[in-house]
Amino acid sequence: KAGVTQTPRYLIKTRGQQVTLSCSPISGHRSVSWYQQTPGQGLQFLFEYFSETQRNKGNFPGRFSGRQFSNSRSEMNVSTLELGDSALYLCASSGLADTEQYFGPGTRLTVT
Amino acid sequence: AQTVTQSQPEMSVQEAETVTLSCTYDTSESDYYLFWYKQPPSRQMILVIRQEAYKQQNATENRFSVNFQKAAKSFSLKISDSQLGDAAMYFCAYKTGGTSYGKLTFGQGTILTVHP
């Protein structure tokens, strides 16, 4: 079974721009969660989607948004990028039992 | 809110020796899950082991085992016969069994160095 894939793997953007990251879950998984990892704040939960609905959200500003498609693929969008948005963005998928999460390789976003 | 604390920013171990990584958590929930994830330099998060709070028996996966002390809210990871490939950042994570669904709360991580 193929693992979780994320595209792109690396991204460099300028402050004020917007960015869209993509995550394809393991086949059959309907839950996709997103996390931001920074040296200062560690791993923080952004949001989770299940069957195209956001069912949990972390404590991030409205500039961070996401969506999920009918094939369970998910995208997250960050608008009006700030320098502090530079981070590794990880997505994870889980199956029906919703206990274990399986992570993708991450997207490294650098904002200059 | 649930919190997870890893008090050891760095640990080191000799190859073939045993090392224990510590984790404590705070929750008022009775139904929850605990995990240890490994993040090598590639940054790929890999699930090492999981523990259901309702199970008294400590989880074991090959060379990895946990010491789950529910009353003390402690969840340590023991790595036996350490190998060079075990070198990584290790994260302890908590997930409630309730309406937080897919949300994992992570500790700050412990960097494990394995010396040959």
Nearest to B45 among A98, A99, A103 (CB): A103
**How far is B42 from A105, CA to CA, in rounded Å?**
8
Apex CA A93: angle with CA A88 and CA A96, to 5°? 160
Distance from chain centroid for Cα A47: 8
Contact B49, B112 (CB under 8 A): no
Q: CA of A27, closest CA in chain B: separation in Å?
A: 17
Q: Is the pLDDT of residue B101 over 90?
A: no
Residues of B in Cβ contact (< 8 Å) with A99: 33, 50, 52, 95
**Chain segment A43-98, per-residue pLDDT in tens:** 999 999 999 999 889 999 999 999 999 999 999 999 999 999 999 999 999 987 66
Q: Is the pLDDT of residue B50 over 60?
A: yes
